[in-house]
Amino acid sequence: MEQTFYYIIIGALIIEYLLSTISAILNIKNITKELPSQFTDVYDQEKYARSQAYLKAKTHFGLLSSTFGLFLIIVVIHLGLFGHLDELVRNQTDSPIFAGLLFFGIIFVINDVITIPFSIYNTFVIEQKFEFNKTTPKTYVIDKLKGYLLTIVLGGIVLGAILFFFDYYGPNGWWIAWLAIALFMVAIQPLFVHIIAPMFNKFTPLEAGELRSAIEAYAEKVKFPLSRIDVMDGSRRSSHSNAYFSGFGKSKRVALFDTLLMKHNTEEIVSVVAHEVGHYKKKHIIFGTTISVLETGIMLFVFKFIMSDPDLFFVFGVEQVSVYAGMIFFGLLYAPVNLITSIFSSAISRRNEYQADRYAFETTGNQQALISMLKGLAANNLSHLTPHPFTVFLSYSHPPVTKRIEAIKA
């Protein structure tokens, strides 16, 4: 059985790497020299070539980082480094919960130290080269420190609770942990709105005027419980544009990136808001949360049967069975299933985007505004206009912009 676990884990890592690599190569090869005719109003040939150069830079960097990641995890497994780490934390405490928190904490720190150079290069070299980056070194460091704080507080609470439930309740721990995680998934929404998001960005109410009046009139028309319309200082970190809404029940907040307001007119921005409202009206968020909760429950249920199997631990050089180490090992063992479910979830997400687009132009009565918004976002973000179908199938959460426009016109 030990060899079976080994082959599944290594095989899954290699297959996932090969699929992503093949996808990336096909995606680059699918670049067309000729600008698609429907985008001639927002792209010129120079900007189109720039978008292709951006795609190549991001793809080559992604291939480098994924190759390094695969090499690193295989080395860690073969050298039994998880076993050495397990011995270290066990020598520090007799509590399985504190040992687990220390185990995860050390892995988090090591992983972060390794990945920081990649993050810095992406932000201050690639994004800087294509004039997207607005993050200063000071902001980058402060963001990292805030991220550490959130990880320690929220991650420590959630992880500590899971370890406690499995340790204290034994075979019944999985469903108690499942309930706790489900409650956290619901609670994270108000936490994000009122605590997490304001830690990283400044939100100011959209000033009175044509845009605010248009958004409020639309929300009233479709009976959307809009409580706040905020402008987010996204330009502090990037010139990319976006918008989102958050909140449950009767308290909804629409957050518009300030970069969005700089580059688009009132009708286009209302169409973006209408698209986000479409996700709410079509219950996409509730559906997605429900699927995540169910998938988490299935994982925990299966984990209950795997976590005490010593053969799984021997693969990683760990001599003593523990819940905390089992969680990481099971995550790697679960990788083939996760790959399949991610393909299905991406397909559902793409379907949801089409539905939200349809809702947007049907309720605003303005197809052209939505189309011009999609074109503008693609041009401003230097999006890839002709992604390969395999790449879309494997990982795209949104349909290609050309397909979305074709669907709107149809």
Is residue 250 domain-resident? yes
Same domain as 351, residue 288:
yes
Mean pLDDT (whole number) for 277-296: 90
How many Å apart are CA 397 and CA 103, to the nearest integer?
A: 33
Query: b/e per residue, 144-164, with b = 16+ CB within 10 A?
Result: eeeeeeeeeeeeeeebebbbb
| More confident of the two residues 200 and 242 | 200
> Would you place residue 44 in the very low, low, confident or very high pLDDT band (cuts 50, 70, 90)?
confident
Same domain as 123, residue 68:
yes
Cα dihedral sign, 160-151-229-211: negative
Is residue 315 domain-resident? yes
Q: Residue type at 215?
A: I
Res 274: pLDDT: 94
Mean pLDDT (whole number) for 72-100: 94
Q: Which domain holds residue 292?
A: 2-133+281-409
- CA neighbor of 99 nearest in space, from 164, 34, 182: 164
Res 286: pLDDT: 87
What percent of the chain clears pLDDT 70, i.e. is strictly above it?
Answer: 98
Same domain as 22, residue 63:
yes
Tell me the average pLDDT of the chain: 90
Q: Is the pLDDT of residue 258 over 70?
A: yes
Is residue 193 domain-resident? no
How many Å apart are CA 57 and CA 255, to the nearest integer?
A: 30
Same domain as 301, residue 210:
no
Q: Is the pLDDT of residue 121 over 70?
A: yes
Mean pLDDT (whole number) for 72-76: 94
Using the structure block, give the residue that is written with the tokens 């706790």.
Answer: 180
Res 249: pLDDT: 61
| More confident of the two residues 188 and 350 | 350
Same domain as 383, residue 325:
yes
Q: Is the pLDDT of residue 24 over 80?
A: yes
Same domain as 80, residue 28:
yes
pLDDT digits (tens, 9 = 90+) for 87-114: 999 999 999 999 999 999 999 999 999 9
pLDDT digits (tens, 9 = 90+) for 297-312: 998 998 988 888 888 8
Q: Is the pLDDT of residue 2 over 80?
A: no
Same domain as 365, residue 290:
yes
Mean pLDDT (whole number) for 44-65: 94
Cα dihedral sign, 238-239-244-246: positive
Question: Which of 263, 289, 307 is where one domain is finished?
Answer: 263
- Three-state secondary structure string covering the chain: CHHHHHHHHHHHHHHHHHHHHHHHHHHHHCCCCCCCHHHCCCCCHHHHHHHHHHHHHHHHHHHHHHHHHHHHHHHHHHHCHHHHHHHHHHCCCCCHHHHHHHHHHHHHHHHHHHHHHHHHHHHHHHHHHCCCECCCHHHHHHHHHHHHHHHHHHHHHHHHHHHHHHHHHHHHHHHHHHHHHHHHHHHHHHHHHHHHHHHHCCEEECCCCHHHHHHHHHHHHCCCCEEEEEEECHHHCECCCCEEEECCCCCEEEEEEHHHHHHCCHHHHHHHHHHHHHHHHCCHHHHHHHHHHHHHHHHHHHHHHHCCCHHHHHHCCCCCCCHHHHHHHHHHHCHHHHHHHHHHHHHHHHHHHHHHHHHHHHHHCCHHHHHHHHHHHHHHCCCCCCCCHHHHHHHCCCCCHHHHHHHHHC
Q: Is the pLDDT of residue 190 over 90?
A: no
Q: What's the token pair of residue 154?
A: 């929220």
Edge-first strand listing for the sheet containing 252-257: 203-205, 226-232, 252-257, 243-246
Res 251: pLDDT: 62
Q: Is the pLDDT of residue 199 over 70?
A: yes
Is residue 156 domain-resident? no
Q: Is the pLDDT of residue 334 over 70?
A: yes
Res 170: pLDDT: 82
CB 174 within 8 Å of CB 303: yes
Res 331: pLDDT: 87
pTM: predicted TM-score of the whole model, two decimal places:
0.89
Same domain as 288, residue 257:
no
Res 375: pLDDT: 93
Same domain as 297, residue 257:
no
Poorest-pLDDT segment among 49-63, 177-191, 237-251: 237-251
Same domain as 391, residue 291:
yes
Mean pLDDT (whole number) for 157-183: 90
> Would you place residue 167 in the very low, low, confident or very high pLDDT band (cuts 50, 70, 90)?
confident
Is residue 272 domain-resident? no
Res 103: pLDDT: 96
Same domain as 97, residue 43:
yes
pLDDT digits (tens, 9 = 90+) for 352-389: 999 999 999 999 999 999 999 999 989 888 999 999 99
How many Å apart are CA 146 and CA 143, to the nearest integer?
A: 5
Q: Domain containing 243 — which CATH number?
A: 3.30.2010.10
Same domain as 220, residue 252:
yes
Domains: count for the chain: 2
Is residue 312 domain-resident? yes
pLDDT digits (tens, 9 = 90+) for 217-256: 999 999 988 888 889 988 888 888 778 777 666 667 788 8
